[in-house]
């Protein structure tokens, strides 16, 4: 057992300044007053830095120099997870775009191999496509877009087993039977890349779609005569939505306004890619975001910590709320909030430790601490 002391602790529920965190192996044992810390327990002095639950990014394509779907291997996932730890992300859904069925199978196989050997940090796969609306395809490749069918979904589920955790699809193209089949296999359905009307979206939510992919981007917009998918999200108290707070995908004023409306239903993703100059998907860095060969916005260069910092400094959100958007709320979306997203007895010993300028100093994953030289 060891303890973390001398820090400001953002537990996900409160802010504690005179507590220590007791950790044994991979689990939080307790939070106690610093004055009650037994002298025989090894204590790590965090030197006044801040502690929060490890970040959870449920839409991210790669990290470092690895783009998973372009290099679908166990080694690629190992490199991606190691890179994520540098910016405080301890868990993630690796995401694949609208690509060929053959490539999807390769990604499933690699993810399964990684999970079978411990699967550090990987919650599963997020399939962003292929069941999307071509009119809202964004950077996705049209020739790979498909309409969902029971047969196709059954084949995908048979191939994917427990690896596929989330699918982004256009609800206006999805039958009730398809939605039910995905739910029966505990696959989270996210509405996105969709041109659904307000009524179509509300109907889909009533059938069990619980979240939406990158609010505003590649979805029917809000207007006073047709509120669209955005309006349906705003109007549905049980539906979550992710947002990309980089100033390119979404203006920071839109982040702030949406937060006022949605409260704890809005959470952060990075939708981060890395440069890729060959294959079906070409990603070129343009300032602080990525574009395709024709200039279409294709992904961000965000880290979760930078996204949190943007929410605080540019969207004027409270520190504790921005941190919840990166940990507690996504843990709820993926049904892991019984174990992730809080600093609380019985929860995972996964933390990001950062200074007042939002530089990550340490990350703790499964109780093991890694120090970074981030200034």
CATH number of 55-334: 3.20.20.140
What pLDDT sits at residue 81?
Answer: 98
CATH topology of domain 2-52+341-371: Urease, subunit C; domain 1 (2.30.40)
pLDDT band at 252 (very low <50, low <70, confident <90, very high): very high
Would you say 297 is a known binding-site residue?
yes
Q: Where in the chain are all domains bearing CATH 3.20.20.140?
A: 55-334
pLDDT band at 375 (very low <50, low <70, confident <90, very high): low
pLDDT band at 354 (very low <50, low <70, confident <90, very high): very high
Ramachandran angles phi, psi of 53, nearest 5°: -60, 145
Would you say 218 is a known binding-site residue?
yes
- Give the gyration radius of the chain's Cα atoms: 20
Would you say 228 is a known binding-site residue?
no
pLDDT(362) > 70: yes
What pLDDT sits at residue 103?
Answer: 96
Catalytically active residues are 271
Would you say 249 is a known binding-site residue?
yes
Q: 319-326 and 304-313 helices cross at what angle (nearest 10)?
A: 150
The DSSP line for 42-109 is EEEE-TT-EEEEPEEEEEE-EETTEEGGGS-SHHHHHHHHHHHHTTTEEEEEEEE-S--HHHHHHHHH
pLDDT band at 288 (very low <50, low <70, confident <90, very high): confident
Q: Which range, 221-230, 289-298, 366-375, has the best average confidence (pLDDT)?
A: 221-230
Would you say 299 is a known binding-site residue?
yes
pLDDT(291) > 90: yes
pLDDT(247) > 70: yes
Q: How far is CA 126 from the centre of its chain?
A: 10
Q: Which residue has the higher pLDDT, 284 or 373?
A: 284
What pLDDT sits at residue 43?
Answer: 96
Would you say 50 is a known binding-site residue?
no
Distance CA 269, CA 329 (A): 11
pLDDT tens digit string along 41-95? 999 999 999 999 999 999 999 999 999 999 999 999 999 999 999 999 999 999 9
Would you say 214 is a known binding-site residue?
yes
Span 2-17, average pLDDT: 98
Would you say 349 is a known binding-site residue?
no
The chain-wide mean pLDDT, for the chain, equals: 97
What pLDDT sits at residue 279?
Answer: 87
Do residues 209 and 182 touch, judged by C-beta distance below 8 A?
no
Q: Ramachandran region of residue 139, left (φ > 0), alpha (ψ -120 to 50) or beta?
A: alpha
pTM for this prediction: 0.97
Q: Where in the chain are all domains bearing CATH 2.30.40.10?
A: 2-52+341-371
pLDDT(119) > 90: yes
pLDDT tens digit string along 122-167? 999 999 999 999 999 999 999 999 999 999 999 999 999 789 999 9
Q: Which residue has the higher pLDDT, 282 or 351?
A: 351
pLDDT(287) > 90: no
Distance CA 311, CA 177 (A): 38
The DSSP line for 123-138 is EEEEEE-SS--GGG-T
């Amino acid at each position: 057992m060891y303890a973390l002391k001398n820090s400001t602790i953002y537990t996900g529920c409160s802010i504690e300044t005179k507590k220590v965190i007791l950790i044994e192996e991979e689990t939080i044992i307790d939070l106690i007053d610093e004055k009650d810390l037994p002298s025989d327990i090894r204590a790590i002095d965090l030197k006044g830095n801040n502690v929060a639950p490890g970040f959870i990014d449920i839409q991210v394509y790669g990290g470092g120099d690895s783009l998973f779907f372009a290099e679908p291997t166990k080694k690629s996932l190992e490199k991606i997870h190691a890179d994520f730890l540098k910016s405080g992300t301890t868990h993630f859904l690796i995401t694949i775009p609208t690509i060929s069925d053959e490539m999807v199978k390769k990604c499933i196989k690699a993810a399964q191999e990684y999970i079978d050997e411990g699967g550090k940090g990987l919650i599963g796969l997020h399939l962003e496509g292929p069941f999307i609306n071509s009119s809202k395809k964004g950077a996705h490749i049209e020739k790979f877009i498909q309409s969902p069918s029971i047969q196709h979904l059954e084949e995908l589920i048979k191939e994917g087993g427990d690896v596929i955790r989330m699918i982004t699809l256009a609800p206006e193209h999805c039958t009730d039977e398809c939605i039910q089949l995905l739910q029966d296999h505990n696959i989270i359905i996210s509405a996105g890349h969709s041109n659904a009307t307000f009524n179509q979206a509300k109907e889909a939510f009533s059938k069990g779609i619980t979240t939406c992919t990158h609010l505003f981007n590649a979805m029917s917009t809000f207007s006073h005569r047709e509120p669209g998918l955005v309006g349906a999200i705003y109007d549905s108290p049980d539906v979550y939505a992710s947002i990309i707070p980089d100033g390119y995908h979404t203006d920071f004023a839109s982040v702030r306004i949406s937060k006022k409306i949605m409260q704890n239903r809005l959470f952060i993703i990075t939708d981060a890619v890395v440069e890729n100059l060959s294959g079906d998907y070409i990603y070129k860095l343009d300032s602080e975001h990525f574009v395709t060969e024709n200039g279409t916005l294709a992904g961000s260069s965000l880290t979760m910590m930078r996204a949190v910092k943007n929410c605080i400094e540019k969207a004027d959100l409270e520190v504790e709320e921005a941190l919840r958007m990166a940990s507690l709320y996504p843990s709820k979306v993926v049904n892991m909030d019984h174990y992730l997203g809080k600093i609380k007895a019985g929860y995972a010993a996964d933390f990001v430790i950062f200074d007042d300028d939002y530089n990550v100093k340490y990350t703790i994953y499964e109780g093991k601490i890694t120090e970074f030289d981030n200034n």
